[in-house]
Amino acid sequence: MIENLFHAYTPLLTWIGLGLVLSRFIPDSFLKLLGYGLYWVGVPLQLFVLARHTDLSHGGLIPAIAIGVLLLSLVFALLFWWGLRVSTSPKQQAENSFDDPVVRASLGSFILATILGNTGFVGLTLAQVLTGPSNMDWAVLFSVTNNVIGTYGIAVLIASYFGNREIKNHWWIQVRDLITVPSLWAFFIGLNTQFIKLPPVVESGLEQAVWVVIAFALLLVGLRMTAIKIGNSLKMAIVASLLKVLIVPLLVGLGATYVGVIGEPRLVLVLMSGTPTGLSVLILAEVYELDRNLLASSIALTFVGLLLVLPLWLAWFS
């Protein structure tokens, strides 16, 4: 297990650590440029390549599990928020009215931090180093579903609804935001061009480009960690992190065991459902005026949490 942990930690610590070191010398304008570059080019490229190689022979099982994990996380987030409001005094409830744009943005950020996992960058990296090639189709299909339905589907609708923007919210604005997401188009183009055989050098270049995108994404995590501020958002970020990397993947692992899914397939489901909060939430925060500090804190805490619980997942579910 020690060797597996070494291979899992190496790419995470290397690129995130490099980002922490370089954060002192790189201006914030470059961070925004890198974030938008990943949103408009990096992630669409990754989904295009993954869609071209996605094996759909598993039917709807893996996508159904991925969607179930999203919904389970959403239910936990809403239950905690409801419980928090019920436990406060009437005066505090009035001060934290849902009509307050800041409160709405905080709730939307908390939901996104809880449900969105970094399955594309971190999840696929862990699946590749901790499981065999025969199980990568599960990881890829889970990641694609999470990105298409979660990150660039449900998450866009949530961010558009809860966001603190000057533009008045209408249902057609949410639909417009959804259909203009570049990653959705890239995925469907890749899925419908599977039959087209590209030259081997092009295929190899695209596959290598995916890992370059992953490296830049992990680098961005390290660069953004230094901007985290300790404040009122930290409590919510801690709760979101516990739900994200501990409670939900634990329930997924126990549920998989109950229905007879064991070994590496079970480990893949646990790893993919317990990945840290996705970097895409920072882009959504910029676009929809959400709570950036809560989201950045959640990303940092879930990465630390992953490093702590990964030995448990290997011991219990591999």
**CA torsion angle for 183, 242, 219, 285 (degrees, to 10)?**
50
- Number of other residues whose CB lies within 10 A of the CB of residue 165: 15
- Give the residue numbers spanning the domain of 9: 2-317
Sequence letter at residue 140: V
Residue 180 backbone dihedrals phi, psi, to 5 degrees = -100, 10
- Full-model pTM: 0.80
Q: Which of 208, 236, 225, 310 is nearest to 267 (CA)?
A: 310
**Positive or negative: CA dihedral 291, 42, 300, 18:** negative
Using CB atoms within 10 A of its CB, is residue 278 exposed (0-12), middle (13-18) or buried (19+)?
Answer: buried
Q: How far apart are CA 80 and CA 236, in angstroms?
A: 10
Q: Going by C-beta distance under 8 Å and a sequence separation of 6 or more, which residues neighbour residue 316?
A: 253
The total number of structural domains in the chain stands at 1
SS3 163: coil
What is residue 210's predicted lDDT score, i.e. its pLDDT?
81
DSSP string, 193-206: TTTSPPPHHHHHHH
The pLDDT profile of the chain, 318 residues, written as one tens digit per residue, is 566 667 777 877 888 888 888 888 888 788 878 877 887 888 788 878 877 877 666 667 888 999 999 999 999 999 988 887 777 666 555 555 556 777 888 888 999 999 988 887 788 778 878 887 777 778 888 887 887 788 778 888 888 888 765 555 555 555 665 666 777 788 788 888 888 888 889 888 988 888 888 888 888 878 877 766 656 677 888 999 999 999 999 999 999 999 888 888 899 999 999 999 987 787 778 777 788 888 888 888 898 899 899 999 988 998
CATH number at residue 164: 1.20.1530.20
Radius of gyration over alpha carbons of the chain, in Å? 19
Q: Going by C-beta distance under 8 Å and a sequence separation of 6 or more, which residues neighbour residue 58?
A: 137, 138, 141
